[in-house]
Amino acid sequence: MKNFNGKTVVVTGASSGIGEALAREFAELGANVVMGARSIQKLQLIAGEIREKGGKVAYCGVDVVKEEECKELIDTAVKEFGGVDVLICNAGLSMRALFDDCDLQVLHRLMDVNFWGTVNCCKYALPYLQEAKGSIVGVSSVAGLHGLPGRTGYSASKYAMTGFLETLRIENLKKGLHVMVACPGFTASNVRFSALTADGTQQGETPRDEAKMMTPEEVAKIIVRGIRRRKRLCLMEIEGRATHFVKKFAPAFLDKMFYYVMSKEPNSPFK
């Protein structure tokens, strides 16, 4: 898929961060963009700005935890543009707490959004993607490559997403479906501010320096390039590449490095 002009791209979590950046990027490339997120007001604003620039866009209020709303999102794409060529499962939720202290409902919530949200959207988009020989993209994380301390639920949900998508790829080897797992490093986006703490409340502020992180726009361009190249795994910057490489040869060393880095965060949950 070298040219996205006229292709229909569905993006979840499109009201901010990486999802918003993806929606704007694909619209500029001539795609029909279908945005899904819980905040309809934000989607309306983004859609208006895209249309002002001549882009084609539709949107639908979606909580990816709810299967029927995921079906409605795909139905919107089919009704407005006739099908689905690319599905980007980007809606996500993070956390920051030690498992010792964590309410188990926090982990259930992470799995519901990050894993089941992906499954729900893929289920209803799959027939159209198979027909188009299109692409499914799961926006995972470095935490989906190696366990990230203080983020047990986040890592677990991203590992689950990866396992699901890799299996989906194998099942569709003869059908021309492209499946890519995209792994950004730390990104300056709202998902970090809405990360859940041990009791399920939002942390409200990020402990890391946002200025040193990738921007959502940078991540979006890398993902677009990965879809064009039909990559299986899309690693970004040194964090993802180093994690992927070092885990093969020195996993115990990587454990220690992850522990050290995360323990140095301001107000780290590590005692």
pLDDT tens digits for range 148-166: 999 999 999 999 999 999 9
Paired tokens of 220: 């979006």
Percent of the chain with pLDDT over 90: 75
144 in a structural domain: yes
Of the candidates 153, 143, 158, 157, the one whose C-alpha atom is nearest the C-alpha of residue 107 is: 153
22 in a structural domain: yes
- How many contiguous H segments (helices) and E segments (strands) does the chain have? 9, 7
Of the candidates 183, 255, 259, 188, the one whose C-alpha atom is nearest the C-alpha of residue 222 is: 183
- Given a contact cutoff of 8 angstroms between Cβ atoms, the answer to whether 26 and 9 are in contact is yes
What per-residue confidence (pLDDT) applies to 209? 56
- DSSP annotation of 271 reads -
**Angle between helices 117-132 and 67-81 in degrees, nearest 10:** 30
210 in a structural domain: yes
Question: Which residues, listed in sequence order, are joined to residue 89 by a DSSP beta bridge?
Answer: 138
270 in a structural domain: no
What per-residue confidence (pLDDT) applies to 53? 96
Beta strand extents in 160-221 (DSSP E only): 178-183
2 in a structural domain: no
Paired tokens of 171: 């099942």
3 in a structural domain: no
Q: How many CB atoms lie within 10 A of CB 255?
A: 14
177 in a structural domain: yes
Q: CA-to-CA distance for 169 and 136, rounded, in angstroms?
A: 9
* Residue in this structure with the two tokens 């188990």, named with its chain if needed: 104
Question: Which residues, listed in sequence order, are joined to residue 57 by a DSSP beta bridge?
Answer: 33
1 in a structural domain: no
Structural domain tally of the chain?
A: 1
Confidence of residue 60 (pLDDT cuts 50, 70, 90): very high
Report the greatest alpha carbon distance in the chain. Answer: 54
Average pLDDT over residues 118-142: 97
Of the candidates 170, 93, 105, the one whose C-alpha atom is nearest the C-alpha of residue 139 is: 93
So which residues are the catalytic ones?
Answer: 154
Query: What is the residue range of 36's domain?
Result: 8-263
- Given a contact cutoff of 8 angstroms between Cβ atoms, the answer to whether 140 and 151 are in contact is no
Q: CA-to-CA distance for 184 and 91, rounded, in angstroms?
A: 14
Q: How many CB atoms lie within 10 A of CB 271?
A: 7
Paired tokens of 100: 């010792």
pLDDT tens digits for range 165-195: 999 999 999 999 999 999 997 776 655 567 8
Q: How many CB atoms lie within 10 A of CB 39?
A: 13
The CATH number of whichever domain residue 198 belongs to comes to: 3.40.50.720
DSSP per-residue codes, 80-103: HHSS-SEEEE-----B-B-GGG--
Cβ neighbours for 256, distance < 8 A, ≥ 6 positions apart: none
Q: CA-to-CA distance for 59 and 14, rounded, in angstroms?
A: 9
- The per-residue pLDDT of the chain, averaged, comes to 92
Does the pLDDT of residue 206 top 80, yes or no? no
Q: Measuring CA to CA, how many Å separate 230 from each of 11, 186, 268? A: 18, 23, 38
